Structure 1
Amino acid sequence: MWDFSIGKTIGILLKTMPFIITRMVIYFVITLAFILATGTGAGIGYGVGSLSDSPESFAVWGGIFGMGLVGTAVYWAREWLLYMVKAAHIAVMVKLIDGEPLPDGKGQVAYGREVVTARFGEANVLFALDQLIKGVIAAITGLLGGIAAFLPIPGLDGIVRFANTVIRLSMTYVDEIILGYNIRTGSDNAWESSRRGLVLYAQNGLKMVKNAVWLSVFLWILSIVVFLMALAPAAAIVYLFPGDLAALSFIVALVFAWAFKAAVLEPFAIAALMAVYFDTIRGQVPDPDWDAKLTGASEKFRALTEQAKGAFGGRAITA
């Protein structure tokens, strides 16, 4: 079974309600932008297509173009979302997981941003660090998945492939967990503390993967439920668009489910896994063998090590 407490994790989310509301506003505004862009694009496409024999096809392509435009904007806004929202939320959750009181006279969102700014400085530093961590996660996934290949069980190929797929899917929130570890340590060198956090995660990887798999199952079930519940209202909204755009109701419901997952379910998973991680690594030091494995397997880990050597005050000297 899992090692996290569902009740305690829900309690942490309730205590960080200002962040949950902020995330819901941001992601549901994004959902509304998708809907409006789709409707506007479909309307323009239908108007242009009315000069031809198939205005419906033009409406479909217009709707797709509108959604693609918003999707591109969201992609470019990911650095801001990471820095201003996700990292600040994690900073507050770390305090609550450790049972520490939040400072009086200051809002949670302002406090979280203050911690992140003091820890990482500018957004591009945190974003660059996050990208290196994501690269190392791929190596950890391969190393953990490779363990199954050496099990002396005949006909294990299919099971190994399935296990590797499960491991990859369950590693979604590792970068957020390492970010939480980074904030928790308060080290002057964010690159080095991230490197240590990754080694600690890898040496406890099987336990972390077990809990991550359970959380993935919970989150996907809930996301599917939300998606199915959103289909009917999405179809009603798309019905107002010009042309026959029934297929787009599926996409709108999918975007709504994604927004709910990002606003509510992801913080739950991050809080639960951080609590398991902090409890698991208590009293541990990074294993030199795992350090060597990651150094040999990951170019990103080697780059993280180089940044740690050349960093001052947690920020790289080089541009």
Structure 2
Amino acid sequence: MNAKQIYNQTMPFNMAKLVLGLITVGLSLILLAILEGIGWLFGSSGIVVTFFLWLAGAGAIRFFIMHYMGYLVKAGHIAVVTEAVIKGVIPENQVEYGKQKVTERFVTSNAFFVIDNLVTASVRQIQRGIEKMGGALDFIPGIGVITNLAQFFVSISLGYVDECCLGYTFYKKEQGAFESATDGVVIYAQNWKELLKSAVITMIKVLVTLLVLTLLTFLVIGMLFKALHWSTLIAFLIACLIVWVIKFAFIDSYIMINMMTTYMSTAETTEISYDLYDKLCGLSGKFKELFNKAKNESVGSRSSENSFVAQNSQKDTNTKFCGKCGAKNSFETKFCTACGDKI
């Protein structure tokens, strides 16, 4: 399946994101009305103070909703997109499938949140290290200004790379979540130039679209507020919030799916270079933390397996079976309790 087909067929997740975005904006606007009403009682200085209080409050609302609900929707979407890219089909009842895979892989939203943050920080630190070594943007001709502009687009694009790496955790089901996430980052490091080329082109198109969309939205709302003699600043804020909802629900999904289709197809054919792990640990403290968690996870898994084997081995030494009828008897038994034959 190509990116367009996956995007169209995973629309339930986009709609879920739309609902979360509208709830976030609705609560933020209610808070704005309350605080600005209080500020109006104290004059212009009160309005300024309550506006800054609103910015902090709106940030807290967004964090709460995105942390406890948005991350689960995002993870479920990633799980379904991964399945679509690898197997070429959208799972039946995709929302339930996504929820099931997230629960199996991460158990809690906090576990996903930890891995997501470590992967995001690792990718950004590694990219800075690559750029310092030189040649990071040699695929873009031009002088310093052009390079700086390109780095700006690369920086924005990196925000979606973590979703690709997290997609790899659903692809490698036989490994622990931390181990798969670590491998996912290494695969990005091996193929960063190819992945970012397409990402930068996508981001340029998206940013132009967002700029036009913001201006058109502000024009409509601003004219309405102007006719009612209301604040055009508030009109601009509302326009930005509306565009943010559209971006969160539809545009972010479009970018993510485009990058994941490129990443997963690359990951399938990439032979991981194991000498990169030590190098990346040197480039990024967060990657080293992720790598250590992966090692601990692997050791814990082996310990559990060995414990299981040991327990079953111990059980085997405490029992013996009758050679005639096959019945299980305790180790001390001389004659079978089932058929009476001598053991």
Q: Which band: TM-score by shorter chain? A: 0.7 to 0.9
Shifted more, 179-188 versus 142-151: the winner is 142-151
The reply on whether 1:9 has 2:3 as its aligned counterpart is yes
Correspondence for 1:112 among 78, 87, 98: 98
Residue 182 of structure 2: which of 195, 212, 215 is its match? 195
Query: Which residue number in structure 2 is paired with residue 86 of structure 1?
Result: 74
Query: In 1, are the aligned partners of 2:123 and 2:158 still within 8 Å (CA)?
Result: yes
Q: Where does 1:208-227 land on structure 2 (aligned, <5 Å)?
A: 208-227=195-214
Residues 78 and 167 in structure 2, CA contact (< 8 A), matched pair in contact too: yes
Partner amino acid, structure 2, of 1:171? L
Which structure would you say has the larger Rg? 2
Residues 1:285 and 2:281 aligned together: no
For residue 211 of structure 1, give the secondary structure of its aligned residue in structure 2: helix
Q: 2:242 aligns to what?
A: 256
Letter in 1 for 2:71: Y
The question of whether the paired residues in 1 share the 8 Å contact of 2:130 and 2:136 is answered with no
Q: What amino acid does structure 1 have at the position aligned with 2:199?
A: A
Where does residue 260 of structure 2 map in the other structure?
274
Structure-1 separation of matches of 2:136 and 2:88: 43
C-alpha separation in 2, matches of 1:314 and 1:227: 50
Residue 312 (structure 1) shift: 5.4
Per the alignment, residue 19 of structure 2 pairs with: 25
Structure 1 counterpart of 2:332? none
Distance 1:91 1:238, change over 3 A: farther
Question: Aligned Cα RMSD in Å?
Answer: 2.9
Q: 1:163 to 1:218 in 2, by over 3 A?
A: closer
Instruction: Provide closer, same or farther for how the CA distance between residues 103 and 208 of structure 1 changes in structure 2, counting only shifts above 3 A.
Output: closer
TM-score, length-scaled by structure 2: 0.78
Question: How far did residue 149 of structure 1 move?
Answer: 7.2
CA distance in 2 between partners of 1:278 and 1:41 (Å) = 47
Q: Greater relative contact order (Cα 8 A, min sep 6): structure 1 or 2?
A: 1
Structure 1 unaligned regions, length at least 5: 50-54
Distance (whole Å) between structure 2 residues aligned to residue 313 and residue 226 of structure 1: 51
Tell me, in whole angstroms, the C-alpha distance in 1 between the residues paired with 2:147 and 2:78.
33
1:26-105 matches, cutoff 5 A? 26-46=20-40, 48-49=41-42, 55-104=43-92
Instruction: Give the C-alpha shift of residue 162 in structure 1.
Output: 4.3
Count of residue correspondences: 298
Distance 1:183 1:238, change over 3 A: farther
Change (3 A) 1:116 1:314: farther
> What residue identity is the alignment partner of 1:191?
F
TM-score by length of 1: 0.83
Structure 2: 5+ residue stretches without partners: 304-343
Q: Who is 1:182 aligned against?
A: 169
Which deviates further from its counterpart, 224-233 or 302-311? Answer: 224-233
Partner of 2:218: 231
In structure 1, what is the Cα distance between the partners aligned to 2:136 and 2:7? 39
Three-state SS of the structure 1 residue aligned to 2:269 is coil
